[in-house]
Amino acid sequence: MAMRLYLAVGCGAAIGSLARFLSGYVIVSQLGLNALYSTAFVNVVGSWIIMAFATLTGPDGRLMVGPASRNFVMAGFCGGLTTFSAMSLDTFILLFEGDLPLAATYLISVVGLSLAAAWLGYLMVSRFNRLPKGSQANG
């Protein structure tokens, strides 16, 4: 049972990490944006998904899933997609280069936007959970 949970988290984290790597490739190499944007992007998106999914599959949620599926998405995929280490390293490099204003702006924006995205995910799905069952196409 524990083995199954670990495997679910590991596979989810592998896929999430690959998604982070590929989105970084698109944002930096294809769109030509600074790498700071790719770290911000995955952190904001992953924070929305984890809170939306937690609310959807929580006690008042509409979707019932087992612990392995829940951990595959939350601790696995979202954990792998988001990264605190790259964000901290980016901030440190900006400080090291002497750009304190940009370092502070970057760290505060990414942490703030990630928290706001998580809050939005919670609000959107809570609203969806409260809709009358009959209004759903496949209720």
Partner 1 sequence: MTLAACALVLIGGFLGGISRFFLSGVVGRGIGETFPWGTLLVNVSGALAIGAFAGAARIHGGIFASDLFRDLIVVGLFGGYTTVSSFCLQTLNLALDGEGRLAAFNIVASSVLCVLFVALGFWAVLWMAG
Q: Which residues would be at the binding site for partner 1 (CB under 8 A)?
A: 5-6, 9-18, 20-22, 24-25, 29, 43, 46-47, 49-51, 54, 71, 74-76, 78-89, 91-93, 95-96, 107-108, 110-111, 114-115, 117-119, 122
59 vs 63: CA distance, rounded Å: 9
Smallest separation (angstroms) from partner 1 to the CB of 17: 3
Residue that the structure tokens 């019932």 belong to: 64
Task: Give the nearest distance from C-beta 105 to partner 1 in angstroms.
Answer: 13
Entry field: residues in the chain:
139
Q: Report the C-alpha gap between 118 and 70 in whole angstroms.
A: 17
By beta-carbon proximity to partner 1, the closer residue of 24 and 128 is 24
Smaller CB separation from partner 1, 68 or 128: 68
Residue 77 burial by Cβ neighbours in a 10 Å radius (0-12, 13-18, 19+): buried
